[in-house]
Each structure stands twice: as C-alpha cells, then as structure tokens.
Amino acid sequence: MKFIQKMIGSVKPHFEEGGKLSKFWVVFDSLETFTFTPGHVTHSGSHIRDGIDLKRTMFTVIVALLPALLFGMWNIGDQHFQYFPAELAPTLIDKVLIGAQKVIPLIMVSYGVGLGIEFTFAGLRNHAINEGFLVSGMLIPLIMPVDVPLWMVAVAVAFAVIIGKEVFGGTGMNIINVALTARAFLFFAYPKQMSGEIWVHNPDGNTGATALGKLAETVGQDIDSDIVSGVVQKFYYGSEFDIVNSLIGTIPGSIGETSAIAILIGAVILISTGIGSWRIMSSFLVGGLVMGLIFNLLGLNAYMLLNPLHQIVLGGFMFGMVFMATDPVTATSTNTGKFIYGFLGGFFSIMIRVFNPAYPEGVMMAILFMNVMAPLIDHYVIQANINRRLKRLKTT
C-alpha cells in the first residue's frame, strides 16, 4: 500500500496547476481520494469532528445493498431454470452465474455512463469528484427488469444524472432521488417494458407477470369473476405469490426488490451504523400497514382485501423504504419531519398502487412526491417549534 501511495505521489505534480496534465486534475484527484483518505481539510471552524466522510458512508450503503444484489442474481437464475426440465437440477452456482451474466453488464453501464457524466461536469466546473453516484450507480440496476436493454439503462442514467442532479448543482443539491428519477424516466418513456409485465430471463423470451401486475388485473373486475378467483388463488393458497414466497423473494420482479429478508439485512446494517434513518423506515412501514388496513375495511376488490403484511412485502415497497426514502439529500432533516415524511410515503405507496393500477409500483411515485414535499414538511416543523418557544417566552 505504501508503494502505491508513493507511486501516486510521484506523478501528482504533473496533474497539479502548472503541470503538463493539469487538465486531468479532476480524474487524478478522484482516483487518489477514492484509494486513500482525502487530504482536504475544513478551512473554517468545525462544529462536528468525526472520522466518517462521504466515501465511507457510500461504501457502507453499498455493503448494505449486497444481500439484495446477491439474492437478485440467484433469483434470476432460479426463475430462468424453471423453464428447463426438472431433471436438469442446476446448482446454486449455476443460478448465480446466470444472474451475474445479466446483472454485471447493467452495473457496468450504469457506472460507466453516470461516472462519465460526473467527470465531465466536474472538469467543466473545476471541482473535485463527489462519491454520491457510487450508491445511485448500484441502485439503478437493482430497480430494473432483468432483460431491460442496456441502451435504455444508459439513456435513463444520463437523464437522471443530468436532469435530476447536475442541473441542481451536483451531489447534495438534488431535490429528487437520482435512482428513482431513472426508473420514472423509463416508466413514462417506455411504459410497455416498465409496466405490470416484467421480463423473466428465460430461453423462450416469455414474460413473467409480477405480483403487482397480477393484482392490478383484478381492479374493475367483479369480485366473483373467474379472473379475480384465479388471481386470488395465486396469493392465498400456497402458490406462486403467497406471503412466504413474497417474503423470501422467489417471485418475478426487479432485480434487487423481490426479497424482503435480504432488504431487511441491509436495513439492519444501515440503522446500526447510523447511516439509515430508523424514523423514516419505521414510519414508512406503519404508513403502508395503515393504508392496507383501511383498504381491508373497504374491501371493494380483491386488491383491497390483500393482507397488509402481504402488501408491504410485494413490489418495491421494502426496497424503497430502506434505500430510497432514507436518502439524506432528498428526505426531511428534522426528526419530527422524518416521521411525517416516512408515514406519508408508505401511506401513499399503497394508495397509489391500489387506486391507480396504471402505476402498480406505487412506491416510486410516492417517494418522488415526498421528495418534493420534504422541504415544506421541514419548514412547518421548524416553524411550529419556533412558535412553541415564542409562546413559552411570552408566558415567562
């Protein structure tokens, strides 16, 4: 390690101001700070002294994403081999390798396009590269269908980084979640590929419907119809989309969103390290359960009658709760605001997916909406606190 540090130090003068390669200082600085602790220090007084920095924070989130990533790779292979004869008996490694062949190119495209744009903007603005895209670059592939074309991912990443982030000033300045911006762009630009029917990687090129896509079919149908009865059987009678399979994640879905267990492992890592907000996660969960209970009381269709616990382990609810809603840049900052923000996010997620089957993945729309509302929530929470203090002051 000392040899590498010495080697980097020897070429550093060439990239500094006045050196032959000074135009590429941004590239050199990003590689140096990614490998070693940054040499930058605070020029004014610091109120908080801590060893944590953005690089360590992003790395911890990546570690928390690994269970969902690895399970997603396995699940892709598992879904793939369901279309082969049972006597083939693929091993765990066989399934993971199939998944890796599909997921790794998506990750490479996501990071390649996103970091390329970030390097360009950093060079134009003459500032250091921030590590913010390290997480977004991993999140984007995990919320995509397995067989989404690579060019679509590239276009979505470019749109999300430029329109959703760089136009606001870069890392820490964006008002909406970058990964969800990419997902929303594809959802509206290419609705056929991103709607209720999601691709399963299989040799015949057939599509496998997601659980939410199947449930959306029941909306507007007579509750006693054959269509509704057939869908209900898949959810209530120990078959394809029952609560056990939905909890484990052995169902079709976006790459990293199917396994609630893998996602909860990530939640434990984020909460234990203090990086993820337990206030947002817990209130988001409560909001989803409350909306599910309200729908149970209404009971107008099969979708509304689904057990609230079953609702929250379907689709991207858990993934959004743990990794999207807790984004510190786009979420609320006040403690009270986090409870309000999280509750409304979970509440609206279930509401949107049931009331509007055109958007079966309600969590995406709900979190983007709450991102926009976060500053307003913080404003009223702070104002309420100021008013309470003024009232106390007047009474003393």
Q: Where are the domains of the chain?
A: 1-37, 211-251+277-395
Report the C-alpha gap between 288 and 279 in whole angstroms: 14
Report, in angstroms and rounded to the nearest whole number, the Rg of the chain calculated over CA atoms. 23
Q: How many CB atoms lie within 10 A of CB 280?
A: 27
Residue with the two structure tokens 């995990």: 142
Report the C-alpha gap between 299 and 240 in whole angstroms: 23
Give SS3 for 79.
helix
Closest to 100 (Cα-Cα) out of 143, 135, 132, 71 = 71
Helix pair angle (54-81, 133-142), 10° resolution: 10
Residues 230, 108: contact at Cβ < 8 Å? no
Residues 247, 313: contact at Cβ < 8 Å? yes
Report the C-alpha gap between 285 and 177 in whole angstroms: 19
Helix pair angle (25-35, 2-15), 10° resolution: 160
pLDDT tens by residue, the chain, 396 residues:
566 666 666 666 656 666 666 555 555 565 565 555 555 555 555 545 555 566 778 889 999 999 999 999 999 998 888 877 767 778 899 999 999 999 999 999 999 999 888 888 877 766 666 667 889 999 999 999 888 889 999 999 999 999 988 888 777 778 899 999 999 999 888 877 666 444 566 655 545 567 777 777 676 666 666 666 666 666 766 677 888 888 999 988 889 999 999 999 999 999 999 999 999 999 999 999 999 999 989 877 777 888 899 999 988 999 999 999 999 999 999 999 999 999 999 999 999 988 876 776 789 999 999 999 999 999 999 999 999 998 888 876
Closest to 77 (Cα-Cα) out of 162, 146, 169 = 146
Helical ranges in 143-177 per DSSP H: 150-164
Rounded to whole angstroms, what are the CA distances from 292 to 197, 354, 358?
A: 23, 10, 19
Report the C-alpha gap between 222 and 367 in whole angstroms: 31
Report the C-alpha gap between 179 and 348 in whole angstroms: 19
Report the C-alpha gap between 345 and 368 in whole angstroms: 9
Q: How many CB atoms lie within 10 A of CB 236?
A: 16
DSSP state of 321: I
Q: What is the pTM of this model?
A: 0.84
Residue 37, exposed/middle/buried by CB under 10 A (0-12, 13-18, 19+)?
A: exposed
Report the C-alpha gap between 94 and 81 in whole angstroms: 9
Give the start-end residues of each E strand in 102-237.
Answer: 197-199, 207-209
Residue 265, exposed/middle/buried by CB under 10 A (0-12, 13-18, 19+)?
A: middle
Tokens in use for 51? 């060893």
Task: Please name the helix (run of DSSP H) or strand (run of DSSP E) that holds residue 332, with its range, or none.
Answer: none
Residue with the two structure tokens 């394809």: 240
